[in-house]
Chain A
Amino acid sequence: MMDLIKLKSGDRRALSKTISLIESGEINSAIINENFPNMKKAEIWAITGSPGVGKSCICEHIIDNWLKKNQKIAVLAVDPSSPLSGGALLGDRIRINNSDHSENIFFRSLATRGQSGAIPSNIADILNLLSALNFEKILIETVGAGQAEVRVAAVSQYLLLVEAPDSGDMLQAEKAGLMELADILLVNKSDLERANEKAEQLSLAFQLSSNHPPPILMVSAKQNSGFEELFIEMEKLSKSGKNHKIKSRISLSFAWENLLWNHKDVSVILEKLESEQINLDEAINYLKEEL
């Protein structure tokens, strides 16, 4: 069970143990809300992009900037579980060096736990817990490919999408969902030749499709350039307090629900649930597979 006294006193181990309980489904937001009635909402940022575009390096800069302002930060680094063994190799700590130093930062690696755990549903509970414990900023790092990441992005308030000149084609179908949700687009590795070209492609793609294109910023984590502009844009978003993309976010989840209710097997699944032949997780996983 969660140790409320220790949790409230700011004990790190109590926090990390409670996160484990949330991961295994033993604690949910209802319990947290009950115990922390007057919680403030933390500001939640997600950063996503293909493997190798430099998310972790950018995270490091963002975290440093927050640390300088003496803010209490939590980082959740989400990595996929192996579909074969269920195990996971969580390596984001390697690249985020400041994670192990400051008292003001709590860093947790999370595995997606594929079939059984479904991080996207309980990550919201983890965020809730961190809010309850007065974390001011939360940064979620995920690999941006696939629906699971779209959902992780959807639990955040602000989404940074990272691209690099040498990463794949921007307009890939599976990324389209994320592109539409992004509040800031970053082209990392701006020291490389084709970075400008990439930024132009992105800008063009938005001109065709969107009324309010997000800012497209060039950064180089390697040369430490472009970050001042990024921090200014982040500050602007944070001050505005409003969710620029909230409409599309809501419509996305509605679209998702629609998919569910239009599913060909939905009545069969419901019957099985009713007669307790399967549990909720199994039902969701089955539907997810089919979608």
Chain B
Amino acid sequence: MDERLRIIIAKPGLDGHDRGAKVVARALRDAGHEVIYTGLRRTPEEIVRTVIDEDADFLGLSSLSGAHNFLIPKIVELLVNSDCNDVIVFAGGIIPEKDRPSLFSKGVRAIFGPGTSSAQMSDFIGSAVKRREDSLPVGCGEDSDWHWD
């Protein structure tokens, strides 16, 4: 991929585990992107503020605490209210299969679990960028049920 994207990797809520987030951040950097890592225990408001100030194309949310069903929709809602409909949101960590459809329906475009390869992530990012180039809805606030799988 030629395009250099700005990607935020964020850890929302009370969750102290960020090995995964750091590995993802590193892999995306090595793929040529500018990655901003927020550090641990950020509130949804702080994360949205970061997305805005940093002019992010993508937001990756890492959650291993079980609070994904609350935090992720909350963040998407705040993004939409802040005129960030076009930001592409993906998630990772421990997110059970049964919780995924509802998150996808709220605008999350990919969910990565343990064992994901960086090639898969690149593939998602490539597909999402392609959709944006083709003017297809892909941002968290854009109406579409498309998601990567």
Quick check: B84 and A13 within 8 Å, CB to CB? yes
CA distance A90 to B53 in the complex (A): 13
Task: Report chain B residues within 8 Å CB of A90.
Answer: 34-37, 54
Interface 1/0 per residue, B26-40 and A, CB below 8 Å: 101111111111110
Interface 1/0 per residue, A11-53 and B, CB below 8 Å: 0110011011000000000000000000000000000000000
Quick check: A13 and B52 within 8 Å, CB to CB? yes
CA distance A88 to B7 in the complex (A): 10
| SS class, residues of chain A in contact with chain B | mixed
Q: Which A residues, 35 to 89, have Cβ-Cβ distances below 8 Å to chain B?
A: 81-82, 84-89
A150 CB, nearest partner CB in chain B, Å:
23
Tell which of B29, B42, B49, B84 touches A88, judged by Cβ atoms closer than 8 Å.
B29
Quick check: A93 and B36 within 8 Å, CB to CB? yes
Task: Report chain B residues within 8 Å CB of A12.
Answer: 52-53
Tell which of A19, A89, A101 touches B26, judged by Cβ atoms closer than 8 Å.
A89
Task: Report chain A residues within 8 Å CB of B82.
Answer: 13
Quick check: A94 and B37 within 8 Å, CB to CB? yes
A111 at interface by CB-CB < 8 Å? yes
CA distance A106 to B54 in the complex (A): 9
A6 and chain B: residue at smallest CB distance: B83
Chain B interface (Cβ < 8 Å from any Cβ of A): 4, 6, 25-26, 28-39, 42, 45-46, 49-50, 52-55, 82-84
Between A and B, 7 residue pairs with Cβ closer than 8 Å are: A84-B30, A86-B32, A87-B28, A90-B34, A100-B50, A107-B50, A109-B34
Chain A interface (Cβ < 8 Å from any Cβ of B): 12-13, 16-17, 19-20, 81-82, 84-91, 93-95, 100-101, 106-109, 111
